[in-house]
Amino acid sequence: MERSNSTFSDSSANARPRQTTYEIFSQFVVYDKRGNVDTSAIFDKECFHAWLATRNRAPKKSGESFRRALVSQLTASDGRKPFPPEVEESILKNLRQKKVWPCFEGTKTTIGIQGFKREGYHEKQRKHDASVPFPKEELEKPQVYNDLKIIDPYYFDFGLVPAEEIKGQFAYYDDNMDISEDFSRLLNEPIHFLEDPMLIL
């Protein structure tokens, strides 16, 4: 597995244009040959120090600032660029493990021990989309089957099969029924097989 770009030291960071938080984290996203994502390196000391090197001033609470930076990027808060869905999913798996982040091991910082209960940007979007009810106006639209049409009684459109050979495989509903009614109701109505080769599609 390999990263797209290598990280850099404090001195090189000062010599180059300041990188964004998104760019720093992205350097520690690893893809294998099958396209599987591993983001565990984001939680290592190397990433933590690479991120610190891009700060104009060292944060008073560097650990908490690093945590907020990652979470803000993960949730795309305040207009931040979200991670790709597969990267977000991998980061969430690491965040939700109730253990101190590797970059803080051996220190008094216990960030990570409580896990993570919030949702990622894409995760939240998916849940929102799934909860949105189907528009009422769409439910009230006549179903496709109200566009029935009579075709040549002796030939079936798909391959010119004589209608007599497939007689009995097609059905119609009572003439007094409103064919634009709800499909589930139609399914509960009596079905009558055609008495003649006239097909209704």
Q: What is the DSSP string of 25-50?
A: HHHT-EE-TT--EE-GGGGSHHHHHH
Q: How many domains does the chain have?
A: 2
Same-domain status, 35 and 124: yes
Q: Are residues 109 and 150 both part of a single domain?
A: no
Q: 200 lies in a domain?
A: no
For residue 174, what are its two tokens? 């009572």
- How many other CB atoms are found less than 10 A from the CB of residue 155? 14
- How many angstroms separate the CA atoms of 19 and 132, rounded? 38
Q: What is the pLDDT of residue 58?
A: 87
Question: Which of helix, strand or coil describes residue 162?
Answer: strand
Angstrom distance (rounded) from CA 34 to CA 152:
54
Q: Give residue 121's domain range.
A: 2-131
For 164-192, how does the pLDDT look when each residue is reduced to its tens digit (9 = 90+)?
Answer: 444 444 443 344 444 444 444 444 444 44
pLDDT of residue 162: 43
Are 106 and 11 in a shared domain?
Answer: yes
In a domain, 155, yes or no: yes
Among candidate residues 131, 165, 180, the one where a domain is terminated: 131
What pLDDT is stored for residue 111 in this prediction?
97
Per-residue pLDDT reduced to its tens digit, 124-158: 998 877 776 656 665 555 544 433 333 344 433 44
**Which among 78, 112, 131 is the end of a domain?**
131
Angstrom distance (rounded) from CA 26 to CA 24? 5
pLDDT tens readout for residues 45-84: 999 999 999 998 889 999 999 999 999 999 999 889 999 9
- The verdict on residue 199 lying in a domain is no
